[in-house]
Amino acid sequence: MRGDGIRVLVVGGGIAGLATVRALRDWGATIDLVERADGPVSTGTGLYLPGNAARALDTLGLLGPVRDLAVEIKRQRTANRRARRLFEVDVAHLWQGVGPCLSLHRAELHRVLLDSIGDQSVRWGRQPVALVAESDRVAVEFDDTSTERYDLVIGADGVNSTVRRLAFDGQQARPLGQYAYRFLAPRIDPEPVWSVRFGPGTQFLTIPINADQVYCYYNAGPVGDRPGWQDEVRSMFGEPATTLLGALDGADPATVYAGPNREVVLDSWSRGGVLLIGDAAHATSPNMAQGGVMALEDAIVLAESLAAADNIGEALGRYETRRRPRVDWVLAQTHRRDRALGLAPVLRDAVMAGLGERMFRANYTPLFEQP
């Protein structure tokens, strides 16, 4: 099926939405792209992209520009709170033949994706307030009181999706019992290593994202936001966490991104001519770093499904049939890894030291295959 004469609305100008517009660029449809933010992303922290993300970017023709801005991560290292190494994985070898593992500032990836859609306009500061099915089309009322009609509405608007709320009975993301803090600090280790240390029900992660900065992530467990979290990190993990936290001394509190981790689990990702993709459809715990990857893959598979089908309904069915097993695998593995983090430290450290590398490889092996 060609997209000639078909009108598509993409809601959300993040990774999923921009990748979808990029993937559909040659299909022939008329695409409108709306984003509730007032302009392009210029803030945020870091993003880690495993090898299957690099493959998806290559499919979209974007691996080169992303790789130019990123750090290639060669190894992933896991230790306990006292810095005793539990296991280490050569991820360059693990993902060989799939793609390099990359890390960069989230805003840099957003910029590459935004540049990639060329003259496609983005209607910033705009979002739908109502979706009404009309025969084989969807009437969309926007927050400026205008109404337009589309053959396909794609909700790519993240974990707090407006499209999911409007078209899927108000279903919301559910909390995972994890409260996380994210920030950037000056890079003090030149080695391109993803490194995590486990405390009792907590973890402190560092990933270099360019020559000067490292992305820091602290999963504080189920307890919510509290003023003393930095002291907890210093006491629990010592160096280099203490030095990295120094970047926050006197800094604007807005440079720390804090909030609960949540997931989205739905029985179906489509309702008539409305489809959810990316975190709007299947947000998960971040412990496998697959959120951005799944969004990129969603865009590619959706474009392929639309091109191969005879109509939109058939395309959406094809899409979900292909994507559901892979997304469900990621969800199941994130649950397994989160449960491991919650084990008693002595037991967890013993399991990680003995089986960690094998478990790590098993988590990712199905993702080596094409989506």
Give the tokens for residue 328. 């469900």
In angstroms, rounded to a whole number, what is the distance separating the alpha carbons of residues 162 and 11? Answer: 9
In angstroms, the CA 22 to CA 303 distance is 9
Instruction: Please list, in sequence order, all residues whose beta carbon lies within 8 angstroms of the beta carbon of residue 118, skipping any fewer than 6 positions away.
Output: 25
Q: Name the pTM for this structure.
A: 0.97
Calculate mean pLDDT across residues 98-114. 98
Domain boundaries, the chain: 7-71+102-174+263-368, 176-261
pLDDT above 90 for 41: no
CA 105 – CA 318 distance, rounded (Å): 34
Closest CA to 53 of 93, 102, 112: 102
For the chain, give the number of residues.
Answer: 371
Phi-psi category of residue 234: left, alpha or beta, with phi > 0 → left and psi -120 to 50 → alpha:
alpha
Q: Span 5-20, mean pLDDT?
A: 98
SS3 203: strand
**CATH class of the region 176-261:** alpha beta
pLDDT range class, residue 69, cuts 50, 70, 90: very high
Instruction: Report DSSP state, residue 366.
Output: G
- For CA atoms 105, 109, 112, 118, the dihedral sign is negative
Q: Please, what is the end-to-end C-alpha distance for the chain in angstroms?
A: 21
Tokens of 177: 């019992």
**Helix, coil or strand: residue 50:** coil
Q: Write out pLDDT tens, residues 200-254.
A: 999 999 999 999 999 999 999 988 888 899 999 999 999 999 999 999 998 998 8
- Each residue of 294-346: pLDDT tens digit? 999 999 999 999 999 999 999 999 999 999 999 999 999 999 999 998 899 99
Phi–psi pair at 124, nearest 5 degrees: -70, 150
pLDDT at position 42? 86
pLDDT tens-digit map of 142-160: 999 999 999 999 999 999 9
Best CA proximity match to 30, nearest among 12, 13, 6, 11: 6
Cα–Cα dist 252/355, whole Å: 42
* Structure tokens belonging to residue 227: 């003023």
* Dihedral angle, C-alpha 167, 14, 329, 360, nearest 10 °: -160
State the chain's mean pLDDT as an integer. Answer: 97
Tens of pLDDT, residues 159-197: 999 999 999 999 999 999 999 999 999 999 999 999 999
* Distance separating alpha carbons of residues 273 and 323, to the nearest angstrom: 18
* Of residues 9, 8, 12, the one with CA closest to residue 279: 12
- Residue type (1 letter), 124: W
Q: Is the pLDDT of residue 354 over 90?
A: yes
CATH topology of domain 7-71+102-174+263-368: FAD/NAD(P)-binding domain (3.50.50)
pLDDT at 26: 95
Average pLDDT score over residue span 334-361: 94
- Strand segments, DSSP code E, in the chain are 7-11, 30-35, 46-49, 71-73, 75-80, 85-90, 101-105, 122-124, 128-134, 137-142, 147-150, 152-155, 174-186, 193-199, 202-208, 213-219, 257-263, 270-271, 274-276
User: Between vectors from CA 268 to CA 154 and to CA 323, what angle results, nearest 5°?
Assistant: 75
pLDDT of residue 223: 81
DSSP 256: S
